[in-house]
């Protein structure tokens, strides 16, 4: 497909960083930020651990952080405490003279890895053969810059969980069919909100290498003339942990509990929840609820724990009793953050994320659509 971003390997940190106490780490990070001043901006995703997110100048979900990255005029260095696809997005949206830095290169995304470019090409070929034309592609932001460029070449748009509904609506107003990837569950939940019946949805099964009817559909065979939406069979390993049984259990114990979940959860979970929405939606919904409210939240544990700390007047717990953090987000540590800052103070840029020019040019178009479709 398109040229790929550079493949980099995280180098081991010098031993001195492992030997620092929490207090020493905090002091040195704070001092380094002060020395770098306006040349530096640190962006932190909500799923980051507390000992990292507290140093963020801006914190938010993917959409908020993408907007903030695009708005940075003074900063020469943007440290992204998130995962690789987020740093790629920031690099695409910022100027060439601004360096986007990922403190730990091993911070990736398993969902993004579930959509390799070659297999997306195979899926595309089968769809175009089935419908005798092209769908309009909609790419979830949890994907590589290479795939965002593919979407740009075909006139599509990128979305986040915050605006997936608006972007998919935009696509289906302009084309008879759309391809949504790589998150099957966000795609299906969004389709349900738009009133698209399961019989008009097909799923690309990665393990089979072919299209199949949606598992919730009554039809057994695909009919290209009646299909409106194609979903890619990808998922978030954290949000897949939440189950209908968990919702039933907590309501059995505490009937007054309200359940709010992320739309990356399975349809069977989202249809039982009281509310479903993006990370920012979850934060707003819980934070603005009346004092004394009891909530069970179906999303990443660092965010749930932070919500509980910041809303002591409410009872907030995770929906999953066996806590499962986002392991790749967790790879960003205070030690890695300090190491990146120390190198900047010495005039070295480490772990710079750079998207190749051709991919950057094409990926920018659907990302700009993402920022304007609300």
Structure tokens at 255: 């009937």
pLDDT of residue 6: 43
The Cα–Cα gap between 370 and 121 comes to 22
85 contacts 341 by C-beta, under 8 angstroms: no
| 160-183 pLDDT per residue, tens | 999 999 999 999 999 999 999 999
Select from 368, 129, 152 the least CA-distant residue to 230: 129
Q: How far is CA 263 from CA 82, 156, 259, 329, in A?
A: 20, 21, 13, 19
78-92, 99-113, 313-327: least confidently modelled range: 313-327
Q: Is the dihedral of CA 70, 71, 75, 80 positive or negative?
A: negative
77 contacts 101 by C-beta, under 8 angstroms: yes
Residue 113 has pLDDT above 50, yes or no: yes
Please provide the CATH number assigned to the domain covering 112-232: 3.40.50.10800
Pick the CATH number of 15-108+328-372 from 3.40.50.10800, 1.10.150.120, 3.40.50.980, 3.40.462.40: 3.40.50.10800
Section 211-218 average pLDDT: 96
CA angle 286, 287, 289 (to 5 degrees): 65
User: How many residues appear in the chain?
Assistant: 374
pLDDT of residue 108: 81
| Residue recorded with tokens 């953090």 | 325
Q: Is the pTM of this model over 0.85?
A: yes
Residue 2 has pLDDT above 50, yes or no: no
Tell me, rounded to whole angstroms, the distance of Cα 243 from its chain centroid. 20
| 314-331 pLDDT per residue, tens | 999 999 987 666 767 778
107 contacts 69 by C-beta, under 8 angstroms: no
Section 27-34 average pLDDT: 98
35-44, 54-63, 327-336, 347-356: least confidently modelled range: 327-336
Q: How far is CA 262 from CA 75, 266, 296, 298, in A?
A: 32, 9, 12, 6
pLDDT of residue 3: 36
Query: Could you say which DSSP state residue 70 is in?
Result: H
The Cα–Cα gap between 196 and 190 comes to 9
Q: What is the per-residue DSSP string for 134-162?
A: -PEEEEESSS-HHHHHHHHHTT-EEE-TT
Section 130-155 average pLDDT: 94
Q: Is the dihedral of CA 60, 64, 65, 71 positive or negative?
A: negative
pLDDT of residue 173: 96
Architecture per CATH, domain 241-318, reads as 3-Layer(aba) Sandwich (3.40)
pLDDT of residue 310: 95
Structure tokens at 334: 């205070």
Which pLDDT band holds residue 7 (cuts at 50, 70, 90)?
Answer: very low
pLDDT of residue 47: 85
Cβ within 8 Å of residue 368, ≥6 positions away: none
Q: Is the dihedral of CA 67, 327, 104, 39 positive or negative?
A: positive
Structure tokens at 212: 């199949």
62-66, 182-186, 209-213, 324-328: least confidently modelled range: 324-328
pLDDT of residue 324: 64
Residue 1 has pLDDT above 60, yes or no: no
Is the fold of 15-108+328-372 the same as that of 241-318? Answer: yes
Q: How far is CA 266 from CA 103, 107, 185, 298, 342, in A?
A: 32, 24, 5, 11, 43
Could you state, in order of their start, the residue ranges of all structural domains in the chain?
15-108+328-372, 112-232, 241-318
Query: Could you say which DSSP state residue 34 is in?
Result: H
pLDDT of residue 266: 97
Cβ within 8 Å of residue 129, ≥6 positions away: none
Strands 315-318 and 294-298: parallel
Section 364-372 average pLDDT: 93
The Cα–Cα gap between 67 and 60 comes to 10
Q: Is the dihedral of CA 60, 63, 65, 67 positive or negative?
A: negative
């Amino acid at each position: 497909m398109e040229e790929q971003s550079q493949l980099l390997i995280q180098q081991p940190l010098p031993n001195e960083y492992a030997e620092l106490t929490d207090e020493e780490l905090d002091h040195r990070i704070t001092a380094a930020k002060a020395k770098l001043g306006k040349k530096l901006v640190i962006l932190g995703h909500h799923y980051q651990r507390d000992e990292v997110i507290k140093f963020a100048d801006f914190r938010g979900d993917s959409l908020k952080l993408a907007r903030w990255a695009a708005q940075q005029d003074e900063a020469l260095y943007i440290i992204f405490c998130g995962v690789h696809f987020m740093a790629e997005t920031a690099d695409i949206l910022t100027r060439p003279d601004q360096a986007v830095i990922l403190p730990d290169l091993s911070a990736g995304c398993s969902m993004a890895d579930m959509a390799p470019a070659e297999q997306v090409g195979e899926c595309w070929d089968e769809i175009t053969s089935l419908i005798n034309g092209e769908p309009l592609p909609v790419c979830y932001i949890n994907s590589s810059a290479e795939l965002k460029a593919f979407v740009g070449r075909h006139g599509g748009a990128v979305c986040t969980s915050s605006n997936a509904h608006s972007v998919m609506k935009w696509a289906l107003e302009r084309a008879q069919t759309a391809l949504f990837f790589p998150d099957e569950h966000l795609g299906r939940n969004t389709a349900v909100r738009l009133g698209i019946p399961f019989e008009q949805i097909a799923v690309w099964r990665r393990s089979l290498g072919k299209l199949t009817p949606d598992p919730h559909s009554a039809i057994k065979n695909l009919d290209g003339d009646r299909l409106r939406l194609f979903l890619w069979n990808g998922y978030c390993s954290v949000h897949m942990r939440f189950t209908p049984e968990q919702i039933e259990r907590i309501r059995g114990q505490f009937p007054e509990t309200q359940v709010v979940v992320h739309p990356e959860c399975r349809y069977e979970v989202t249809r039982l929840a009281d509310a479903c929405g993006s990370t920012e939606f979850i934060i707003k919904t819980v934070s603005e609820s009346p004092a004394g409210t009891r909530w069970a939240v179906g999303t990443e544990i660092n965010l749930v724990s932070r919500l509980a700390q910041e809303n002591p007047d409410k009872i907030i717990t995770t929906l999953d009793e066996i806590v499962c953090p986002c392991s790749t987000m967790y790879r960003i540590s205070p030690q890695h953050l300090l190491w990146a800052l120390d190198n900047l103070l010495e005039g070295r840029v480490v772990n710079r994320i750079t998207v190749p020019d051709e991919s950057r040019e094409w990926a920018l178009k659907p990302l700009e659509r993402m920022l304007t479709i609300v």
